[in-house]
Copies of this chain bind each other. A is one copy, B any other.
Amino acid sequence: MNLIGISGALRKASTNTGLLRALKSLLPDGVGMEIVTLHGIPLFDEDVIAASGKPAVVTELADRIRAADGLIIATPEYQFSVPGVLKNATDWLSTCNHPFRWKRTGVVGASAGALAGTARAQYHLRQNLQALEAITMPRPEIMIVHNEEKFDGNGELTDGETRQRLGKWLKAYLDWVEKKP
Contacts and interface: CB of A to CB of B under 8 A. Distances in A.
Interface of A: 10-12, 41-47, 78-91, 94, 102, 114-117, 119-120, 123-124, 126-136, 138-139, 143, 145, 180-181
Given A135-B181, A139-B131, A115 B114 contact: no
A85 B85 contact: no
Contacts of A115: 117, 119, 143, 145
Contacts of A139: 130-131, 133
B133 A138 contact: yes
Contacts of A43: 10, 41-43, 84-85, 88
Given A10-B45, A43-B85, A46-B11, A78 B91 contact: yes
5 contacts: A10-B47, A43-B88, A81-B127, A81-B128, A84-B86
The 10 tightest CB contacts between A and B, nearest first, are: A84-B88, A84-B87, A102-B181, A80-B131, A79-B131, A10-B45, A130-B138, A11-B46, A133-B138, A78-B91
Contacts of A123: 120, 123, 127
Given A81-B131, A84-B91, A87-B88, 4 more contacts: A41-B43, A84-B89, A87-B87, A124-B127
Given A85-B45, A116-B116, A143-B115, A80 B135 contact: no
